[in-house]
Amino acid sequence: MKSNKEVKHYDVSRYRTPDGYTSDIAVFTITSERTKAYAPPKMELKLMLIKRADYDTEGNPNIEAGKWALPGGFVTPEETAQEAASRELSEETGIDGIPVKHFGVYDQPERDPRGWIISNAHYAIVPEHQLFSRKANDDAADVELFSVEELEWNQLAFDHSAIICDAIAHISRDLLQTTVAKQFLPESFTYSELQAVLLTITDDKAIRNEQAFARKIKSLPFIEAVEGQKTQRTSKLPTQLYRFVETDIKQSIYTARH
Window 221-250: residues binding its own copies (CB under 8 A): 221-222, 249-250
Which of 4, 205, 250, 251 contacts DNA by CB under 7 A?
205
Residue 8 interacting partner from DNA, its own copies, none (CB closer than 5 to 8 Å by kind): its own copies
The set of residues, in sequence order, having a beta carbon less than 8 Å from that of 60 and lying 6+ positions away, is none
Instruction: Give the x-and-dash track for 10-29 against its own copies (CB under 8 A).
Output: x-x--xxxxxxx--------
Tell me if 210 contacts DNA by CB under 7 A.
yes
What stretch of H or E contains 82? helix 81-93
Tell me if 59 contacts its own copies by CB under 8 A.
no
Determine the 3-state secondary structure of 61 from DSSP.
strand
How many CA atoms are closer than 13 Å to the CA of 209, on its beta-carbon side? 9
- Comparing CB distances to DNA, the nearer of 108 and 232 is 232
Strands 20-33 and 117-125: parallel
**If we measure between CA atoms, which residue out of 74, 85, 82 comes closest to residue 115?**
74
Between CA 147 and CA 30 the distance in angstroms is: 9
Neighbouring C-beta atoms of residue 214, cutoff 10 Å: 15
> According to CB under 8 A, which residues from 95 to 134 bind its own copies?
102, 104-105, 107-110, 113-116, 118, 120
What stretch of H or E contains 81? helix 81-93
Q: Least separation, in Å, of the C-beta of 241 and DNA?
A: 8
Determine the 3-state secondary structure of 29 from DSSP.
strand
The whole-angstrom distance between residue 35's C-alpha and the CA centroid of its chain comes to: 25
Q: Contact region for DNA (CB under 7 A) — 2-10, 82-90, 174-182, 250-258?
A: 250-258
> According to CB under 8 A, which residues from 144 to 173 bind its own copies?
none
Tell me if 208 contacts its own copies by CB under 8 A.
no
Q: Least separation, in Å, of the C-beta of 221 and its own copies?
A: 5
Tell me if 66 contacts DNA by CB under 7 A.
no
Beta bridge partners of 223: 244
Between CA 197 and CA 30 the distance in angstroms is: 8
Residue 232 interacting partner from its own copies, DNA, none (CB closer than 5 to 8 Å by kind): DNA
What stretch of H or E contains 90? helix 81-93
> According to CB under 8 A, which residues from 62 to 91 bind its own copies?
62-63, 69, 71-81, 88, 91
Between CA 43 and CA 194 the distance in angstroms is: 10
Q: Least separation, in Å, of the C-beta of 31 and DNA?
A: 18
**If we measure between CA atoms, which residue out of 178, 154, 176 comes closest to residue 165?**
154
Q: Contact region for DNA (CB under 7 A) — 10-18, 77-85, 202-210, 245-253?
A: 202-210
Tell me if 211 contacts its own copies by CB under 8 A.
no
Tell me if 257 contacts DNA by CB under 7 A.
yes
Binding site for DNA (CB under 7 A): 37-40, 190-192, 205-206, 209-212, 214-216, 219, 230, 232, 234-240, 255-257
